[in-house]
Amino acid sequence: IKVARENNVDFILAVGGGSTIDYAKAVSVSAWYDGDAWQRFWIKQEDPTSGERIIPVGAVLTMAGTGSEMNGGSVITNHAAKMKIGKVFGEDVMPKFAVLNPKYTFSLPQRQMVAGIFDTMSHILEQYFSGDDDSTSDYLAEGLMRSVIASSRVAIKNPEDYEARSNLMWSATWALNTLIGEGKPQDWMVHMIGQAIGAYTDATHGMTLSGVSAAYYRHIMRYGLKRFVRFAEVVWSVLPEGKTDEQIASEGIDALESWIKEIGAASDISSLGVTPDMLDRIADSTIILTGGYKTLDHAEVVDILHNSL
């Protein structure tokens, strides 16, 4: 903020991944606000008022996953408060342009590529596992998930496969540019738990999501059983013959967990630095949302964390 004001900055170019782009958006709305930007935008979730100065942002993507290049989201960590919170701003804060060249992602360490892959998958799942109607958005989500799975397997073997990296980059953008969220209540509890973990451990975002996903979805499965059965059959090609709905749904979550391990994403949170004594505090920092199939209480968050260790 200080640099932007002193130099009367009129444009911010974010070259990097989601953290870089999110940070640029945060500076863009905060630079000319005289109060406490963290309290206003992230704690109170307010928006800039009409006429307030917002510095335009552009993006050159070097890591695919967050979709920040085509939305107004800005996730910021307050290390002092042990809080990591996202604020979704309107179109005025969205990047004015984004350069998506898969070749710019080739030099990423494989762990970062994998984190981005699972972040993309998680964005889709957060929107998919909500609502009970027959929505076109869900068909789009299923296609994106199948593309991510197929392309991930190619990219893991050859990180410089242009087609695979191109598909992963494009899927990441479409996963969170609001398209597949249309008509959906949306869950986002995996992100809330994962972000609380990140606030305590500073672990890579995508890995915090992969570390808790299987435990979370097993916890809520029975409340959205019909959708979990569809997920197993359509996304993972689980055969339903001779099985109960519970068995089919469980096989789908098992397939998700196996894929997490296959691509090298974190399948537990102990590997991210979480210890049993942290669980209550992480749960305290977890924001509870109500758009999914089950509204969690504090004890349930602790239980999910425990089952993710």
Q: What secondary structure, in 3-state letters, does 58-105 show?
A: EEEECCCCCCHHHCCEEEEEECCCCEEEEEECCCCCCCCCEECCHHHH
Average pLDDT of span 102-130: 97
Instruction: Tell me, yes or no, whether 73 and 218 share the same domain.
Output: no
Instruction: Tell me, yes or no, whether 152 and 127 share the same domain.
Output: yes
Is 105 contained in some domain?
A: no
Is 74 contained in some domain?
A: yes
Given 99, 130, 157, the domain boundary residue is: 99
- Of the candidate ranges 47-51, 58-62, 236-240, 257-261, the one whose mean pLDDT is the lowest: 47-51
State which residues form the domain around 236.
110-308
pTM of the model: 0.94
- Of the candidate ranges 3-7, 77-81, 127-131, the one whose mean pLDDT is the lowest: 77-81
Instruction: Tell me, yes or no, whether 288 and 155 share the same domain.
Output: yes
CATH number of the domain within which 45 lies: 3.40.50.1970
Residue 22 pLDDT > 90: yes
pLDDT for position 107: 94
Instruction: Tell me, yes or no, whether 168 and 251 share the same domain.
Output: yes
Which DSSP state fits 50? T
Is 114 contained in some domain?
A: yes
The mean pLDDT value of the chain amounts to 96
Residue 82 pLDDT > 90: no
pLDDT for position 24: 97
Reference 258, options 267, 269, 250, 247; nearest CA is 267
**Would you place residue 63 in the very low, low, confident or very high pLDDT band (cuts 50, 70, 90)?**
very high
pLDDT for position 236: 98
Given 78, 99, 120, the domain boundary residue is: 99
Name the domain count of the chain: 2
pLDDT tens digits, residue range 208-261? 999 999 999 999 999 999 999 999 999 999 999 999 999 999 999 999 999 999
Residue 50 pLDDT > 90: no
Is 31 contained in some domain?
A: yes
Average pLDDT of span 116-133: 97
